[in-house]
Amino acid sequence: MTEPVASPSEPASAPALTGGRRTAFVGYQWLLVLFLVLGVVQVFLAGFGVFDLKGEELGSSGETALDPHRTMALVLGVIALVIFILACVARPGGRAIVLSFVLFLLTYTVQSILAAAGEDAPFFGGLHALDAFVILGLAGYLRGSAQRRATG
């Protein structure tokens, strides 16, 4: 009996997707698209909040100009966690799983630390903004890799 050979476009380490793994992979792909779209919205909310910081309230009483940005950060952190979980289920390859975990760490943990530190030291606020671009680039890379796997 011969063993199946992986096609040249599919690495040997990435098993074929069937059943629940295929469903998880489709969800993984779509959540990466959603993450990227919401990431762009997040950048807008940051700019909107920064340029609206005149001591005025945005929305209801007690809400600050950056509250929508902070709320979206939590949403993105949850989505990044679900992306990682779906990557673990779909198993699109070791690199994708590891990078999905890095995406979660950067989105949820590192961004929170840099944002808090940036309130006292603007340098860390700058790193917070740069990390956002790293996060979007990483999500874009993961989405592109998933697309290549799906069509390859």
Please list the ranges in the chain whose pLDDT falls under 70: 1-17, 52-63
pTM of the model: 0.81
Helix (H, G, I), strand (E, B) or coil at 130: helix
Q: What is the CA angle 70-52-65, rounded to 5? A: 30
The structural domains of the chain, with segments of one domain joined by +, span: 20-53+64-151
User: What does the pLDDT read at residue 10?
Assistant: 45
Share of the chain residues as helix, strand and coil, in percent rounded to the nearest 5: 75, 0, 25
pLDDT digits (tens, 9 = 90+) for 89-103: 999 999 999 999 999
User: What does the pLDDT read at residue 18?
Assistant: 73
